């Protein structure tokens, strides 16, 4: 899952970026409303975390313009404006949720996960390909009933492959949804992590699920 954070307060940016990346999310950060508007139109993000009081174009205008352009990326307002009227205005402008500063990171993370689940076409939190299962709520992964321990990055990569099961995903698609905006998709890091997954998911099974598509990318196939 790839998240765009539009925030100009350095301490909050560092907290959010570090915390989300520890959970396996790819995080991009910009500091002005205009940059946020541009990024959200150029890249298919899974979630937008948006401050209201931003340099130049404020978050309300960014949200309204995105909705006018039929960009339906879930939007979480994160702002110091805590009056009821502010919350009503934010939601009326098209936001999906509204959290005021200061905030507990645990609550922020819970809201992020809820919006990401809500934004998916599939209504279930259980992903299944053959005998491989992934629970997006508990982040538990099993194959043939046996639990598999994954790092945050391995989990994010597997989740993306399972969300796109039976489809070819390119290295660029993987880098955009699993890593961050400064990631070099031509490095061998993706290959390394795919191999890590193969060792944990496929090594002890006759039926292999992760397949390379020569010159293109990978496919998770049951």
Going from N- to C-terminal start, the domains of the chain cover 2-119, 126-220
Q: What is the structure's pLDDT at 120?
A: 62
Is the pLDDT score of 61 beyond 50?
yes
Largest CA distance in the chain: 60
Domain at 126-220, CATH class: mainly alpha
pTM over 0.85: no
Overall fold of domain 2-119: Rossmann fold (3.40.50)
CA–CA distance, 3 with 178 (Å, rounded to integer): 10
Token pair for 197: 């997954």
Calculate the alpha carbon distances from 151 to 13, 123, 161 in Å.
Answer: 23, 25, 15
Is the pLDDT score of 122 beyond 50?
no
Mean pLDDT of the chain: 90
CA–CA distance, 68 with 65 (Å, rounded to integer): 5
Most confident of 114-118, 127-131, 170-174: 127-131
CA–CA distance, 7 with 27 (Å, rounded to integer): 12
Question: In this predicted model, what pLDDT tens digit does every residue of 159-195 receive, in sequence order?
Answer: 999 989 999 998 888 887 888 666 666 678 999 999 9
**Residues contacting residue 156 through CB under 8 Å, at least 6 positions apart:** 1, 24, 25, 26, 177, 178
Region of poorest pLDDT, from 49-58, 184-193, 207-216: 184-193
Query: Which residues are bridge partners to 66 per DSSP?
Result: none
Fold equal for 2-119 and 126-220: no
Q: What is the structure's pLDDT at 140?
A: 93
Work out whether strand 217-220 and strand 146-148 pair parallel, antiparallel, or are unpaired.
Answer: unpaired
């Amino acid at each position: 899952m790839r998240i765009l954070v539009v925030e100009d307060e350095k301490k909050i940016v560092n907290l959010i970026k570090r915390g989300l990346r520890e959970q396996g999310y790819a995080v991009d950060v910009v500091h002005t409303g205009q940059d946020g508007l541009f990024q959200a139109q150029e890249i298919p993000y899974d979630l937008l975390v948006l401050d209201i009081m931003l340099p130049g174009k404020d978050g309300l205008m960014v949200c309204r313009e995105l909705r006018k352009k039929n960009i339906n990326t879930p939007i979480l307002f994160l702002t110091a404006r805590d009056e009821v009227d502010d919350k009503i205005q934010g939601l009326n402008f098209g936001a999906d949720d509204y959290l005021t500063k200061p905030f507990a990171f645990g609550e922020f993370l819970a809201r992020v996960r809820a919006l990401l689940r809500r934004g998916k076409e599939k209504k279930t939190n259980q992903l299944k390909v053959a005998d491989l299962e992934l629970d997006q709520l508990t982040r538990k992964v099993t194959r043939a009933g046996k639990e598999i321990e994954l790092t945050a990055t391995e989990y994010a990569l597997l989740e993306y492959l399972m969300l796109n099961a039976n489809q070819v995903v390119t290295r660029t698609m993987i880098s955009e949804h699993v890593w961050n905006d400064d990631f070099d998709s031509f490095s061998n890091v993706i290959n390394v992590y795919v191999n890590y997954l193969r060792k944990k998911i496929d090594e002890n099974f006759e039926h292999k699920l992760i397949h390379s598509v020569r010159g293109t990318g990978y496919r998770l196939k049951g």
